[in-house]
Structure 1
């Protein structure tokens, strides 16, 4: 969560109670985010299909902000891979 190139994403997640020391909590929340919210867009390319999932991310402080998570299912695969979130 300390990457200088993350554009402030880490700071945003810590504002909602996620902690660097407990990164697995954020990882779990992001997995659940993809299961509990609608797919906003799905875009196909030669590399696979990119999915954008929007809104309520269950957070430790219970404010549950609207977030976006990006997932990719590569061509020939069927398991989504996490790309980023903000």
Structure 2
């Protein structure tokens, strides 16, 4: 099963520039170290957004979790990086209850 409404998925700029690629973010710095190694950069944040959207399009769901606030979707698989390598990445998406648009929550290398 694919991410519902993946064609409408949203990757907010701040999620990338101030979290996933931020070396100074308390929770995001380890993720930034990982993604920066593959050629992703804050200056070209759209490249990472596009890679994450393609990741959601290309792979099946690994996990679905329901909550009173909405549904969390986990996707795992290779993601094409700017340096042409394909690191294995877990991306997490959320659709609010009553909503239809998936929004990126996080992305990181699985344990």
- The TM-score range, normalised by the shorter chain, is over 0.9
Q: How many residues align?
A: 86
Cross-structure match for 1:80? 102
Give unpaired runs (5+ residues) of structure 1: none
2:28 is the counterpart of 1:4: no
Counterparts of 2:55 and 2:79, CA distance in 1: 6
- TM-score for both structures, normalised by structure 2: 0.73
Between Structure 1 and Structure 2, which shows a larger proportion of strand residues? 1
- TM-score for both structures, normalised by structure 1: 0.93
Q: Which has the higher contact order (CA 8 A, sep 6+)?
A: 2
Counterparts of 1:85 and 1:75, CA distance in 2: 22
Give unpaired runs (5+ residues) of structure 2: 1-20
2:21 is the counterpart of 1:21: no
The root-mean-square deviation of aligned C-alpha atoms, in Å, is 1.0
C-alpha displacement of 1:64:
0.6
Q: Which moved more, 1:3-12 or 1:23-32?
A: 3-12
